[in-house]
Amino acid sequence: MIKVTFPDGSVKEFESGITPYEIAQSISPRLAQEVLSSTVNDQIWDISRPVTSDCTIKLHKWEDPEAKKTFWHTSAHILGEALMELYPGVQFGIGPAIENGFYYDVDLGDGVELKDADLVKIEDKMKELVSKKEQLVRTDISKADALKMFGDRGETYKLELISELQDGTITTYTNGNFVDLCRGPHLASTEPVKAIKLTSIAGAYWRGDEKRKMLTRVYGVSFPKKKMLDEYLVLLEEAM
């Protein structure tokens, strides 16, 4: 058994290997439906990741910044999967959550240029993937295996990042056919992402270095309810 300490100071015992989602379920089924991420011992975790030792825990709903960051990080991976399916041979840079949404930097190959009209096609593919309710699966991987995996795929940008990582600290996340080098955290699945809007396209030098290749940056935002997206777009228009 492990002891889990909650923000109010209360302590409960659970079987080792319980997930934050299951802890939320033990408190309230409604809470479990709303929880998107967690903080375990001051580190943000996936709600599907097992807890195996005594810890403190916080459970985050949409209203919490930690939940939004996790939500938008997963949305970036959904964007990555959509781009992989629509543009075979695409290479991926980084795809983080940002203050209001997410982006992914990609190399689509010489002669391929995204237009604003392409964003609708990519959005539609993202919605199709979300409808499959794909799980986000975290995997620990050795540095050698990571170099081989991404090397076999010709992912030169990922290889550069992996070369700088310490063995024993590397993880990947998989949603559908998309496997990405990533620390996480992520949603348990794509299901909570109910509304998506890709907002703009920009150029971005790889790793911010103007001597490196210019990549294509696709920006987007997503929400757990369509109404939230509609309200956000109205505010965005009013601010322009």
pLDDT in tens, the chain (240 residues): 999 999 999 999 999 999 999 999 999 999 999 999 999 999 999 999 999 999 999 999 999 999 999 999 999 999 999 999 999 999 999 999 999 999 999 999 887 889 999 999 999 999 999 999 999 999 999 999 999 999 999 999 999 999 999 999 999 999 999 999 999 999 999 999 999 999 999 999 999 999 999 999 999 999 999 999 999 999 887 776
**Coil/strand/helix, residue 12:** strand
Does an H or E element contain 130, and which?
A: helix 116-131
CA-nearest of 148, 137, 141, 139 to 167 is 141
User: Which CATH number fits the domain that encloses residue 20?
Assistant: 3.10.20.30
Note whether 159 and 214 are same-domain residues: yes
Q: What is the pLDDT of residue 110?
A: 81
Q: What is the pLDDT of residue 195?
A: 97
- Of 61, 81, 109, the position where a domain reaches its end is 61
Note whether 28 and 92 are same-domain residues: no
CA-nearest of 112, 116, 127, 113 to 79 is 127
Note whether 111 and 225 are same-domain residues: yes
Note whether 121 and 158 are same-domain residues: yes
**Coil/strand/helix, residue 64:** coil
Note whether 37 and 71 are same-domain residues: no
CA-nearest of 221, 222, 218 to 191 is 222
User: Which domain range does residue 28 map to?
Assistant: 2-61
Q: What is the pLDDT of residue 92?
A: 97
* Beta-carbon-side half-sphere exposure of residue 41 (alpha carbons within 13 Å): 6
The total of structural domains in the chain comes to: 2
